[in-house]
Amino acid sequence: MPNYQPSNINDMPRHTGDGGNSTVYAGSAAITANLTTADKVRPVFIPGGNKAYRVAIRNTDLDSGTTLAVNIGFSNVDGTPGPSATAVASAVTTWQGAATTIYELMPPVTLEKDAYLEIVPTVGGIGTGTVHGRVEGEAIGIR
């Protein structure tokens, strides 16, 4: 069960110039083998104390014309229970080849601990490539 981790986990957050507490976290994860339902793709690391309200994902064609269904959500870095594993999208979500998909999170998801944007296939995939992700939100601090 490989976990595909973000390549830039130590990058500093990108604060917007005039957005007050607005933050953007971006990253990518390289898929090196065909995906299985036991894999976890984690393209973005989000520090604790953030409220996520928008997620954008862009991936290469990981299903070669078939339907690759995934759950998209968040998971705590330390493995403790946290935000919903399907907070962003449920298994009916399919990845499109070389497409950017943007999800508005209503209500926003509060991440109290360091977390990953996590994508878990519900069916196997074919092909390799890179998954890019971006999480936009608000820095609210750990409560």
Per-residue pLDDT at 111: 94
Domain count, the chain: 1
Inter-CA distances, 7 with 17, 29, 70, 115, Å: 25, 6, 21, 15
CB of 121 within 8 A of CB of 72? Answer: no
Nearest residue to 131 via CA among 89, 72, 48, 78: 72
- Looking up residue 94, the CATH number of its domain turns out to be 2.60.120
Residue of higher predicted confidence among 107 and 124: 107
The string of pLDDT tens digits covering residues 50-67 is: 999 999 998 877 777 677
Measured in whole angstroms, how far is the alpha carbon of residue 80 from the centre of its chain? 17
**Mean predicted confidence (pLDDT) in 120-127:** 81
The string of pLDDT tens digits covering residues 24-33 is: 999 999 988 8
Per-residue pLDDT at 109: 92
Residues spanned by the domain of 77: 3-139
Whether pLDDT at 142 is above 70? yes
Q: Which helix (H) or strand (E) holds 94?
A: strand 89-94
Q: How far apart are CA 135 and CA 10, in angstroms?
A: 16
pTM of the model: 0.82
Written as one string, the DSSP assignment of 31-75 is: E-S---TT-EEEEEEE-SSEEEEEEEEEE--SSTTS--EEEEEEE
Residue of higher predicted confidence among 91 and 122: 122
